[in-house]
Amino acid sequence: MADLITDDKPVSIDDGRSHRWENLRRGVYRFRSNTMSMLGLSILVFIFAVAILAPYIAPYPKDATTGVNPVARFTEPGAEHPFGTDRIGRDIFSRVLIGTGLALKVGTTIIVLATSIGVTIGAVAAYFGGWVDELLMRFTDIFLTVPGLVLAIAVTAALGRGIDNAMIGIALVWWPGFARLTRSQVISIKEEPYVEAIRGLGAGNLRILFRHIL
């Protein structure tokens, strides 16, 4: 009976890293090859440019905060006021330009907060499993059972008025989705051979999770 030949070649940490870099390179290539993706990126770059340059290109930057000109109220769109003016004479075009920066700040902050909370909870739940997974996922389910708008309003009311508190309230509505997505990905990745190789070298759980898996 012929002997079975098996491949006992050890799996190195570099194999996992090179695999991730190869996937990243392919993803970037596919993104650059997609016309709609590049169009979306161009629009995003344009919006960020407007937000950064708004104080310098807005014809009436003070109208975004303190400008009041009752004489020019409800002016029709024209060369001097492309979007017209509002009920107290403020230039609407300038307010739109200045408001772009605030809109980006709010959106970016909410995404960063929601992603940070969701990814951390989802990754820890998936990696450790058992009662940790059960506890964190039931905690996530509590947030999912409450209507998002109601939860955001309740949190904002509890913390007080203000744009910062509103951002926190909205972030607490969004994080459960990121948690579930991260959990499903980490469950599949944590059994990869390169993770076992890292664990065999004595790396700690937090190092494996947050450096090599995420």
Residue 182 has pLDDT above 90, yes or no: yes
- Going by pLDDT thresholds of 50, 70 and 90, the confidence category of residue 2 is very low
Scored b (16 or more CB within 10 A) or e, 185-200 reads: bbbebbebebbebbee
**C-beta atoms surrounding 183 within 10 Å:** 22
Rounded to whole angstroms, how far apart are CA atoms 68 and 86? 10
Which amino acid is located at 161 in the chain? R
State the DSSP code for 135: H
pLDDT digits 0-9 by tens, 88-138 = 888 889 899 998 988 999 999 999 999 999 999 999 999 998 999 999 999
Q: What is the pLDDT of residues 147-174, one digit of tens each?
A: 888 888 888 888 888 888 889 989 988 9
Question: What pLDDT, on the 0 to 100 scale, is given for residue 131?
Answer: 94
What's the predicted TM-score (pTM) here? 0.73
| 123 SS3 class | helix
Mean pLDDT of the chain: 85
Question: What HEC string does 76-96 produce?
Answer: CCCCCCCCCECCCCCEHHHHH
Q: What is the pLDDT of residues 33-55, one digit of tens each?
A: 889 999 999 999 999 999 999 88
Count, in order, helices (H) and strands (E) of the chain. 8, 0
Contacts of 73 (CB under 8 A, 6+ apart): 85, 86, 87, 88, 89
Tokens representing 182 are 């991260």
**Contact status, residue 114 vs residue 79, Cβ threshold 8 Å:** no
Report the phi/psi class of residue 89: left, alpha or beta, with left for phi > 0 and alpha for psi in -120 to 50.
left
Nearest to 204 by CA among 194, 214, 195: 195
The domain limits of the chain are 13-213
Question: Quick one: pLDDT at residue 5?
Answer: 43
Question: Which DSSP symbol is given to 3?
Answer: P
